[in-house]
Chain A
Amino acid sequence: MATVRVEPSGIEFDVGPKESVAEAAWRQDIAWPTKCYGQAECMICFVKVVDGELSTVPPDDDELFEMRTKMPRRLRTPLTRLACRLRVKGEGVVLEKKGVQ
């Protein structure tokens, strides 16, 4: 279990070892934008890792493929992730995502 912080709202919540950040948020009744609810389809849950990158689990081929095919290039940076796939393995992760509350 690790705590993540989401800017700009500053909300903090726990993420379990077997769940994604978005899933943890939904589980704790925190709104995290999505349309596909965890199927890596809609790209709406995308998030920027602003700190603690080493405490995140790197993206797998599936996540990278979905982002390459469905996400506009201007949003795709090395630190852009899908929250429905992003897993956390340690403390200190800070994310940037509007609409999380």
Chain B
Amino acid sequence: MTVADLNPKFTWAEGEDAPLGTNPPEVQASVPHPMRDSRFVPKERYYSREQFELEKKHLWPHTWQMAAREEELPNPGDYVEYEIVGNSILIVRQQDGSVKALHNACRHRATELAKGAGRLPGGQLVCPFHGWRWNLDGSSSFVFGEKAFEPACLNKDDLALRECLVETWSGMIWINMDLGARPLREHLSPVQDLLDGVGVGNMRVKWWKQVVLNANWKMAQEAFFEGYHVTQTHPQLLMGNDVAYGEKKAEQVAYTTFKNGHARFQSASKGESEYEPVFDSEEFIEAGRLLATGQDAMTLEQDVRIFEGLRNKIAQDDPKFTQHAIAALYEYAQGAGIPMAPMGPNIQLWGGDIYMFPNYLMLPMYGNCLAYRSRPYKDDPEWCIFDVWSLTTYPEGQEPERAELKGIFDKDDTENWGLIPRQDFSNIERQQRGLHSPGFTELRLSSQYELSISNMHEELDRSISSRQSIAERRES
């Protein structure tokens, strides 16, 4: 029996974008707690040290990762450090505007050359231990007291900092430690085009924060793979309606899994009147306000004000209010010089979600976007560091100069996290604790709402398995 038989409403991409689905026995046999059935996820996948070590060895060093935003490095010599499972990589803006990703280890005695984010105004990376130096491109420029070394120690090529692959796309800098990796575009296919369609390339960081969560990195990101949790986790978003309404809302979302482990959910209600709730423009405005005040992302205060400006122009029960509201947004954007993506079927993704394997999500809405990234933390399978970005499209020429991390904030910090993320974070940690309950063996998933979770896990098993067989071939 296939998932389609179980629930024909679940959709996955077909043709060349189709996900690979359940893995063949040889892949399953090569991982300790394999995905055997797309409806069930073995709980050990979220805390087993063996699983975690396999990810460290076979996933992270070989996959594309969103390492930084372009606007973190506006000028030549700017750098930021990207860290993943104990690897520190310096992302450095070059004189010609391009970007390099250099492994952050002195070629002498391994000292990390720079930390955090900053500028290299003299165009030199200087080791704080003995003062060896490198140019921005990683080539060696100075060895202190070089006469004291034998030539074999000072081969120029050996002294150059080790590089990673780097590609930029729509304001994001992606790195891959595997110099033989396929191009980013191939890895991101087919979701790159979907995001370009809503203009994410025009967006810049409004704010960027991090939270450390007592949960596996996969557990944390999976909280954002579906909209099915919304009415229970965020009761305020139900806006006083009943359970039936909540269920209807959940059903208005279409989920699609893709190849390469990626997934999407988006509005499914277009043209399907059976799912269209009774219309009330005040509810539309209120829903927008709840997002603006509850997370300061996706819908922003400015969008709400534009919607409010229609209050006495459009009747409260006008079923076309949404269209009027979107037209008003575009009118404002045009007047203000805000480069919005062209209106079209792409905007069905507004309020939806694109998940990019292994650990990055974007949730576009209007000219804005919420983005999440989840990474293991402190070499512990049960901890992660979770990034949250609120992106928006600024009037041309008025983009903020440099994006900086606002800070790492406690998950309960009401000053720095809105109600919506606090509600999500709280469930994530409770899930992780619940996993250890003796009677609990596996997560059970909805074939309509939650198969993007298994799609990710299945891709993870494939990634580990394929690298393992490469490693085995090398050894034999």
Contacts and interface: CB of A to CB of B under 8 A. Distances in A.
Is the A/B pair a real complex? yes
B126 interface: yes
B128 A38 contact: no
Contact of A35 (B118, B120, B123, B131): B131
B24 interface: no
Contacts of A19: 121
Contact of B120 (A20, A22, A37): A37
A22 B131 contact: no
A23 B126 contact: no
Chain B's interface size range is: 10 to 19
Given A36-B126, A39-B126, A20 B131 contact: no
B240 interface: no
Contacts of B180: none
Contacts of B119: 38
A34 B123 CA distance: 12
B131 A23 contact: no
B275 to A, nearest CB: 54
Chain A interface size, under 10 / 10 to 19 / 20 to 34 / 35 or more: 10 to 19
B124 interface: yes
Contacts of B131: 35-36
Contacts of A34: 122
Interface string A1-31: 0000000000000000001101100100000
Contacts, number: 32
A38 B124 CA distance: 9
Interface in B314-359: none
Nearest to A41: B128
Contacts of B126: 35-37, 39, 41
A84 B124 CA distance: 13
Contacts of B123: 26, 37
Contact of B121 (A23, A35, A41): A23
B128 A26 contact: no
B292 to A, nearest CB: 34
A6 B168 CA distance: 42
A38 B133 CA distance: 13
Contacts of A38: 119-122
Contacts of B128: 36, 41
Contacts of B121: 19-20, 22-23, 26, 37-38, 84
A19 B119 CA distance: 11
Q: Residue among A22, A35, A41 with the most chain B CB within 10 A?
A: A35
A26 B120 CA distance: 11
B419 to A, nearest CB: 37
A39 B124 CA distance: 10
A19 B121 CA distance: 9
A56 B125 CA distance: 27
Interface in B131-178: 131, 133
A36 B121 CA distance: 10
Nearest to A35: B131
A84 B123 CA distance: 13
> Taking each of B120, B122, B123, B126, which has the highest tally of chain A beta carbons within 10 Å of its own beta carbon?
B122
Interface of A: 19-20, 22-23, 26, 34-39, 41, 84
28 contacts: A20-B121, A22-B121, A22-B122, A23-B121, A23-B122, A26-B121, A26-B122, A26-B123, A34-B122, A35-B126, A35-B131, A36-B126, A36-B128, A37-B120, A37-B121, A37-B122, A37-B123, A37-B124, A37-B133, A38-B119, A38-B120, A38-B122, A39-B118, A39-B126, A41-B126, A41-B128, A84-B121, A84-B122
Given A22-B121, A39-B126, A84-B122, 4 more contacts: A20-B121, A22-B122, A23-B121, A84-B121
Q: Which 10 interchain pairs have the tightest Cβ spacing?
A: A37-B122, A38-B121, A37-B124, A23-B121, A38-B122, A26-B122, A36-B126, A37-B126, A35-B131, A34-B122
